[in-house]
Amino acid sequence: MRVFNFSSGPAVLPEAVLTQAAEDMLDWQGTGTGVMEMSHRGSAFSRIIEMARADLADLLGLPSDYAILFLQGGATQQFSQLPMNRLKKRGLAQYVVTGAWSAKALEAAGKVAPLTGGRVEAVAGDEESDFSDLPFFTDEAFDPEADYVHLCTNETIHGVEMDEAHLPNTQDAPLVADMSSHILSRPMDIRRYAMVYAGAQKNIGPSGLTVLIVRKDWLEETPPDWLPDLLSYQVQARHDSMLNTPPTFAIYVAGLVFQWLKAQGGVAAMERVNIEKAALLYACIDQSGGFYRNGVASEARSRMNVPFLLADPALIPLFLEHARSAGLIELKGHKSVGGLRASLYNALPIEAVRVLVDFMTHFAKTRA
């Protein structure tokens, strides 16, 4: 029997996708071979990757001056790969720090900055911040000459989400966003960004795949000589993400997820459900009389990742044990912030949130 899986990633996938993947395992569409066994340069896999790319572009409403790359290494690899490709000699990259992941991106960029001869700086967020609100920044904080300004538009650990209305005005400085944990959960205007990237293992598919969406003018500039081809956006784009063998099966599963999303009505339809799911859970927390608590300011609360605390932290092991018995798993909070966390990605059905909220209400009543 399937349980309700609130994991922050790798995360629940649509049952229809998993069923299809199981059915195709030994023989994809009469080819006599499974997707995992196909040459990445053969016609069958070419169809798979092209369809995945086209469906993703369609879901995002992607303008034709953007390219989609399928890479490896997760978002973490992009933390280094981005400055290696785009931080210029004597250049500057600015990082808006809204939680643990944007802080990691800044740190990784700082490590490779000396290679490029550029530098990086934080424009908002500091080590004392508890990341319970969107950062306060004025437009003056941004250098219009910056090589780029980096954001993490949904912070998986701190449960902080930045919607488009809160994006900074950086004038000519191009925006880059790590959207790993909320891509495809709501309509987004990709034109606001020069580049967007996402580790697949939350809203897209299996781990081991990174989706990169990049404006084509960024691919025209040749990166430094010392940059390995595998890490060069320009070279990867020129080879259609096939400089070497890509993670073929992960791309195929992502493609099934894209088809599933289209069948659900696309990202606008997903957003309606995601708003409802998040509203149910935050209401349960806020109406618990302090038994549960989420400290994030309401306009910054993530629809995807909902961290919350118990007034009595000693009850956490019991909560997790009873939740597991009720078929609700992966509710433990990230070790750096403690407490509990429920991730409500696209593939998590609203039924799961209803069961969780009923469980939480009952647990609060019996333990308060």
Q: Which residues bind a second copy (CB under 8 A)?
A: 1-3, 5, 7-13, 15, 18-19, 21-23, 25-27, 31-34, 36-40, 42, 72-77, 79-80, 108, 111-112, 114-115, 199, 201, 205-209, 225-231, 243-250, 253, 327, 329-330
Cis, bond preceding 247 (omega within 30 deg of 0) = no
Diameter over CA atoms, the chain: 65
Cβ–Cβ < 8 Å for 98, 134: yes
**Whole-angstrom distance, CA of residue 184 vs CA of residue 122:** 27
Q: Cβ of residue 288: shortest distance to a second copy, in angstroms?
A: 26
CB of 86 to a second copy, least distance (A): 15
Structure tokens at 230: 């595998």
Which residues, other chains included, contact 366 with Cβ-Cβ below 8 Å and sequence gap of 6+?
none
What token pair was written down for 226? 């010392």
**Residue 62 or residue 211: which is nearer to a second copy going by CB?**
211
Which of the residues 28, 55, 147, 202 is marked catalytic?
Answer: 202
Shortest distance (Å) from residue 197 CB to a second copy = 13
The distance of closest approach from Cβ of residue 290 to a second copy in the complex, given in angstroms and rounded to an integer, is 29
Beta carbon of residue 246, minimum distance to a second copy (angstroms, whole number): 7
178 carries an active-site annotation: yes
Nearer to a second copy, 167 or 231 (CB): 231
How many CB atoms within 10 Å of residue 39? 12
- Whether 137 and 166 have beta carbons less than 8 Å apart is answered as no
The single residue of 28, 101, 218, 260 carrying the catalytic annotation is 101
Single-letter amino acid, residue 135: P
For 105, the token pair is 């991106």
Which CB sits closer to a second copy, 119 or 293?
119
Q: Considering the complex, state which of residue 144 and residue 228 has its C-beta at the smaller distance from a second copy.
A: 228
| Closer residue to a second copy in complex, CB, 116/288 | 116
**C-alpha–C-alpha distance, residues 177 and 154, integer Å:** 9
28, 55, 147, 178: which is the annotated catalytic residue? Answer: 178
Q: List the catalytic residues.
A: 101, 178, 202
